[in-house]
Amino acid sequence: MRRQEILAAAIKVFGKKGFAATSVDDVASAAKIAKGTLYLYFDSKEEIYAAAVQMAVAQLQKLAAERIRSVSGVRERLSISIAVRTEFWQDKQSLYRLLLTVGRETQHKRQTHEVMRAGHAYFLSILKEGEAAGELEPRDLDAIAWAILDMIRGCNERRMDHLTARTPQQDAARITAFALQQLGLSDERPDTR
């Protein structure tokens, strides 16, 4: 429990001050614990960041698994999975901003790439299951899975930077429509406005 409280406090402080400007003292203060207590759980600020990312990804994976458990078929599984990812990051904007900034720094790129590959693998598994079930014709599913992930990331970033007024649900619907079209599962053309 204390570990999660530290991570929650760290995410808030990182979001306000930025990763570089935040000290371990800042995190300890925000978590209302002594610096020594913080060091019982984490060795460094970098370890706190890595743990926060891992915690968020685990939460996202759990939520996605819960939401798609009761549905079958590539259309429904894809639609729900896209919606989960647009809605989830809307509620975790501070951490998402950290991923966008800190995650691109050299020392954190490996972890960022692991997060991206996990998201890609998740979508690819849905698409391959659809192909195996005969719902999809053979095609370059790898590229489509990356495109889905990139569209989600782009929509999330534009929403957080206030470059669009679309809601997570609207973005999810558009991404899903586009993906279904690319997969040959829709006669409709996605609305690109």
The arithmetic mean of pLDDT across residues 153-164, rounded, is 92
The structure tokens listed for 93 are: 């904007």
Nearest to 56 by CA among 25, 16, 94: 94
Question: By the 8 A CB rule, do 155 and 148 touch?
Answer: no
The arithmetic mean of pLDDT across residues 105-121, rounded, is 86
Question: By the 8 A CB rule, do 25 and 35 touch?
Answer: yes
Question: By the 8 A CB rule, do 146 and 79 touch?
Answer: no
pLDDT digits (tens, 9 = 90+) for 123-157: 999 999 999 999 999 899 999 999 999 999 999 99
Ranges in the chain annotated CATH 1.10.10.60: 1-43
User: Greater confidence, 168 or 99?
Assistant: 168
Nearest to 120 by CA among 57, 53, 75, 30: 57
Report whether pLDDT(190) > 70. no
pLDDT digits (tens, 9 = 90+) for 11-54: 888 878 878 888 999 999 999 999 999 999 999 998 998 898 88
191: confidence class by pLDDT, cuts 50, 70, 90: low
* 3-state helix, strand and coil shares in percent for the chain, rounded to the nearest 5: 75, 0, 25
Percent of the chain with pLDDT over 90: 62
Q: CATH assignment of 1-43, given 3.40.190.150, 2.60.40.10, 3.30.420.40, 1.10.10.60?
A: 1.10.10.60
Question: Quick one: how far is CA 83 from the chain centroid?
Answer: 11
Q: Model-level pTM?
A: 0.85
The structure tokens listed for 56 are: 């968020």
Cβ neighbour number for residue 161 with a 10 Å cutoff: 10
Q: Which residues, 6 or more positions from 80, have their beta carbon under 8 angstroms from its beta carbon?
A: 64, 67, 68, 71
Class at the top of the CATH hierarchy for domain 45-182:
mainly alpha
Report whether pLDDT(189) > 60. no
Residue type, 54: Q
The structure tokens listed for 80 are: 């729900």
What whole-number distance in Å separates Cα of residue 107 and Cα of residue 192?
37
Ranges in the chain annotated CATH 1.10.357.10: 45-182
pLDDT confidence of residue 19: 82
Look over the chain and give the mean of its residue pLDDT values, rounded to a whole number.
89
Report the phi/psi class of residue 162: left, alpha or beta, with left for phi > 0 and alpha for psi in -120 to 50.
Answer: left
